[in-house]
Structure 1
Amino acid sequence: MSLGDSEANRPPTVLPTKNEMAGLIASKDWSTTALGDTNSWSSSLKLIVGIMTASGFPMAVRWGPEFILIYNDGYRSILADKHPWALGLPFRVVWPEVVSELMPLQEAILAGKSPGVYSEDRPLTIRRRGMSWETAHFTVSYSPVPDPTSSTGIGGVLVTAVETSDRLRIEKALEFKTHELFEANQRLQDGQALYRSALAAGRMGTWETDLVAKTRLWTPEGMALFGINLPGGRGHVGGAQDEYWSALHPDDRHLMQDFHELADNQDSFTSEYRVVWPDGTTLWLRGHGRVVARTPDGKAHRLVSIVADVTERKAAEDHAQFLMHELSHRSKNLLAVIQSISRRTARTTTTMEDFESRFGRRLQGLAASHDALVRNSWQGASLADLMRQQLLPFTDIQNSRVELAGPDIVVTAEATQAIGLAIHELATNAIKYGALSVPAGKVKISWTFDSESLASRGLLLKWVEQGGPRVVPPSRNGFGHLVIGEMIERSLNAKVTLEFLHHGLEWSASIPATNLVIEAQT
């Protein structure tokens, strides 16, 4: 098939709308904002927006000197009535009520003077629902987003946020319930029904421990959270029969002794730990313990405990940590590739103008590969889509001088970058010296599987030129030769063949199956 023949089936230039914000970002006219048209966005901005919109965790990017706001679906609840009006507006316009507090933090990060900010349960007095003021609490992380096009090397600030207002209210309720339980020991029968209803609604459970008698009395809600079932709710403290110790995660069992020591020295304390049910289910619990009676020597005699299930909150925190690690990993990889391209280009150029021209074109090629990856949420890229993206700057999409032929294949993110750079260098050479430098010249790019075995078959990728000027092998090997040869072989464990034949240049790469994500032959 030719580039012209495939125009009707060519993927759209905007991101597919898998969620509301991805659709709003893709359809917005960014040329009216300080960021400009999306075609002029840096690779770093496109990368972070792609990662952010693919995540369900509340995230936002504040980009450039004006900190233009771009955010994902998870962040909408934080904006409340300010969504979708806030998209593409400066931070000062969206959150004027907190500019004096937060703007200096962001400016320090953008200037490269701060490595980032992390704050737990930060109170902010804001207006986000009409004209009503409220004090909300957030656990937030402000992280710098590297961008080589920025004068400071930082393009903007990545904000990950979890609103903790509800959790703080729950913790206050837990503390209140602990105190209430202390008083309710005198009138337990009267308030038992109401109290049990509150525990069930809040996924909370309680029990009382007698450290002298070595007994423990559980409520049904408490036993349910620990995955235990005791006749009459009566348990035992200490030894092999201790149901509390047995239910604790093996890595958290040492905390039991710590809690007893705390009870000997203070009237109340907080706790957070894991329990493992008999079926293997693991829950995170957080709560309070309160001493209600002491022995004559001041040691804890009886204490009541109340805990709540916080498994979902812990999972959200773990996911946020994973996202930050993944973002750091991908940013470092991208910077390493850009630095390598810069060094290699500098070695083969003699003037600054030549360097800027070549380096800029190669960055455009890298950005084209990233566009293909973003369309698939960084889960790989369609090989056909990657070829079209790389060839668009070199040839009219309507003509038939470039032919693409091969089955539907998705290659990994690493293979996308390596193959994309190689195709860019081959196209550059063809435009300057090869088949695309004359009207009659043609290029055929084909790919197929090199084996019938599904378990071991790899990819055979070919670039064949015809009808161009007489082929003359270069007198010396430059950066382009390194990209289409050694770089492909080393990064993909591939085998590359390059031939300068009389009818035109021929290049092929045999790429192992480990670089393929999806292989569906058409």
Structure 2
Amino acid sequence: MREKREENTASPEMSLLDAPERLRVLHATVPDMAVPDTDFDGITEIAARLFDAPIALVSLLDREWQWFKSAVGTSEPRASSEDSFCVHAAADAAGAGLVVLDASADLRFRSRPLVAGAPFLRFYAGAPIVLDGQPVGTVCVLDVAARSEVAPHLMEQLRRLAGLAAALFKLKDEARRRAIKEAALSREEQRHAMALEAANIGSWLWDVRSGLIGGNSALTRMFGLPADRSFGAREVFGAIHPDDRGATFAKLRQAMKADEEYDGMFRVGDTGRWLLGRGRVHDRDAKGNPLTFIGVTIDVTDQQMSVQRTRLLLKELNHRVKNTLAMLQSLARQTLRQTSDPAEFMTAFAGRLQAISEAHGLLSDHEWGTIRLADLISKQLMPHVTVYADQIELHKDEVLLGPDQAVGLGLVLHELATNAVKYGSLSVPNGKVVLTARNVVEEGEAVLHLTWTEVGGPPVREPKRRGFGSILIERSLDKVLGSSVKVEYMAAGVTALIRLPL
């Protein structure tokens, strides 16, 4: 039995069954090959009628079993791949398929169980199903009666049916992958929404001509407005405390007139909570009239109402928040320039907003002092990987980061990770990112040298056009004098070299 198996394995048909690339394409495109699919029934019914055959199959050839995605004339879900006619049809290098007029007179098949025994098959015609250049199965017909000939046009029709089956497999695979991506995107959007809620940051877009303002749920909650709809500017201003309403409106009007940034703090009338807002006109018409105004709002009630120690902390916090809000404002404007679709805008903007929020969260936990580099890396990269320990390799010295370094570096790490998930090493199961952090002394000053290296990903090509993400990577550390980020698109993977004075 062992000798017979080795002899079979050496044949072209057995080599086909074992071919790694063929099996990879089959398993990747049709992971549910063992499950019958009525969408293919039309193909088997047409094939049976064309050949006036009692049995017709859409079959897939795995290493051990031949699975029937659709079948006419049999209730069996599978058969042995090694004993099948179909492996010979699939192995035809020319792709013409296989015709067996009388299997009982064919040395290749006369001793096969289904030929020598029930149901005593005699006639077979099959055409290969080819996916990504690999023969993964057949559309075939079988009969218990032998035939003297097969008209050439019938085989041509059978090959066309095999082509239709291949196209249908590809369409179903694309639909399956699209559904997986959409489900992942939905989960990501929910996570971003929860993160914005936790960070208590509201974002808004004001259409000046229509007077309508669209905002996220954090904003509507801050102002006590109805959720899940746009609302008028009058509703927003009406929600501000009467003592603060006039000054707030005057600041907004002055900012719009002088093309300056709005920056103000006010209370909400119903709750008395303090909000810090920042915004600017995004675009104007030909006459210079403002068209849209975008901004962000943060609830700063706890800081306003805290004890003296917190008041001292608030002075530092206000400075940091203004810097961060300015960064957020710039991010919102640049992201909005990249897309006019509100859903795409919120997805892209929320990811960058979350990156800054994670750095803010760590800094807040340490009262805006210093935080550990390892903590920042973990916070920024954890959402982008499945198994952190397997996909992120960190070699580091003990490094402490101040607020400007943490916020800027956090945004750089987010953009690098986002690109790696879309195009680089984190887009494939076995890819990973290696980070090396060294605290060195240059001219008596401490400097962080951080290297980001992607390994195990797809081949890399340098983009022909620098997008906003690339610009953001290079400019996120502008507030730290002497810092730099250099991104190199090596064929083996993206490498980023970061220099950051501490």
TM-score, normalised to structure 1, is: 0.41
TM-score, normalised to structure 2, is: 0.42
Higher-RCO chain (CA-CA 8 Å, sequence separation at least 6)? 1
